[in-house]
Amino acid sequence: MLALTGACQFEVRPRPPAEARAAAQATPAATRSPATQQIPRGTFNETEFQEDLQTAETATDDFWRRHWTELFTGSYTAPRVVGLYDGRDPSSAPRCGKERLTRDNAAYCPSGDYVAWDAHLMRSGYARGDAWVYLVIAHEWGHAVQARLQRGLVSPAAELQADCLAGAVLYGSADDGTLQFEDGDEQELVDAFKVIGDKAPWTKPGDHGSAVQRLRSFSRGGENGVKACFT
Ligand SMILES: [Zn+2]
């Protein structure tokens, strides 16, 4: 993500179990997250990165599993999660049809029905804040959802619709209590769209709209839910 600036500090963290929450509330704020506070900004924590990837995948999958029958006919099936790949080593990148996935990209592959993300894209975004991986994963999962729907339901502006679905999933998961937003998260997501704009390599060039359009679409899904992404 060469277009990223260093301005983003994202915190979209899973909601801790009730016991942990109660304990946290009884603890002064200054000592609440010692592990986080000891890590200087910009330092990469591989363990937390892997945990956030797993949490984002699980929360997104759970959201669709929980809400599918309210929204659509049929039953939900998850795409396969290929997950991290090394786009700088073309011989090891996953195949999608006749092509291999490319560096600094993330994708839903229709023919293989899988989602995957380049490790460098994810690590470089994550170094600026963990919301990045939630946004990318919820967006790519949105493409898997699009592929499960009748053609007529899918917006021609598929990238904007995937952004809308990502907003619906992240805010919907917060409403459901499976993800917890913390102070500043919303501004940080706004900043994420400012920096990815229409230059993000993980979206198809040309058809995904400007930063303003993308944020508007994400917010529409966040405020009004999945159905708003199909009107
Ligand atoms: Zn996309």
Per-residue pLDDT at 153: 74
- Kindly give the distance from the C-alpha atom of residue 34 to the centroid of ligand 1, in angstroms, as a whole number: 36
Strand partners, 117: 84, 106
Measure the CA–CA gap between 17 and 103, rounded to whole angstroms.
37
Q: What is the mean pLDDT of residues 189-201?
A: 68
What are the domain boundaries of the chain? 13-18+42-230
What global pTM score does this model have? 0.76
- Kindly give the distance from the C-alpha atom of residue 20 to the centroid of ligand 1, in angstroms, as a whole number: 36
One-character DSSP codes across 155-184: -SSHHHHHHHHHHHHHHHHHHHTSEEE-TT
pLDDT tens digits, residue range 47-80? 999 999 999 999 999 999 999 999 999 999 999 9
pLDDT tens digits, residue range 109-160? 999 999 999 999 899 888 878 888 999 999 999 999 999 998 777 776 888 8
- Kindly give the distance from the C-alpha atom of residue 48 to the centroid of ligand 1, in angstroms, as a whole number: 25
Nearest to 81 by CA among 123, 113, 44, 129: 113
Question: Residues with beta carbon < 5 A to ion ligand 1?
Answer: 159, 162, 203
